[in-house]
Amino acid sequence: MRFFSLPRSLDPDDFGMSFLRELPLDCLAGEGTRHGAPVACRTTADDVLNELFSAARHGGVNGTPQGGAYARLYAWDSLYALLGLPVDAPFPQAAWQAVDHRWLRFMAFTDWFHHDTADLAFAVLDPSRTRVAVLAATDAGAA
């Protein structure tokens, strides 16, 4: 997971793939050298939490599955990190706060992405529009 502080507030309409390409992300390194265009689409915190839980629960393509309780814990911990919350914050607070964030799911045609169910890439813009958190993970590693 990576965190970026922006020098000024970002217009939410500018929070997309063009913006993400400007960040120093390993998962986007070499973008444009393979056939295919990168994609970013808006999503929700519910979608992100569901994907994080599913990844932990099923273990990805070559990973180790976790039990439901641990998978839920790991998903919540990741969601809290994306929101900038301490892990002991009440879940209703996280749910309420998540509404004010902008959520993106993205992927690109780079050597990092394997284009299977193990690839996860999310970016989150906070309500002040000055902090971006990025979580990108695959069975081969994280960036």
Helix ranges, the chain (H): 17-21, 45-58, 68-83, 91-98
Q: What is the pTM of this model?
A: 0.89
Rounded CA-CA distance 111/134 in Å is 18
pLDDT in tens, the chain (143 residues): 999 999 999 999 999 999 999 999 999 998 777 788 899 999 999 999 999 998 888 776 677 778 889 999 999 999 999 999 998 999 899 989 999 999 999 999 888 888 776 789 999 999 999 999 999 988 755 54
Number of separate domains in the chain: 1
Note down the domain range covering 7. 2-142
Q: Confirm if 46 and 75 have CB atoms less than 8 A apart.
A: no
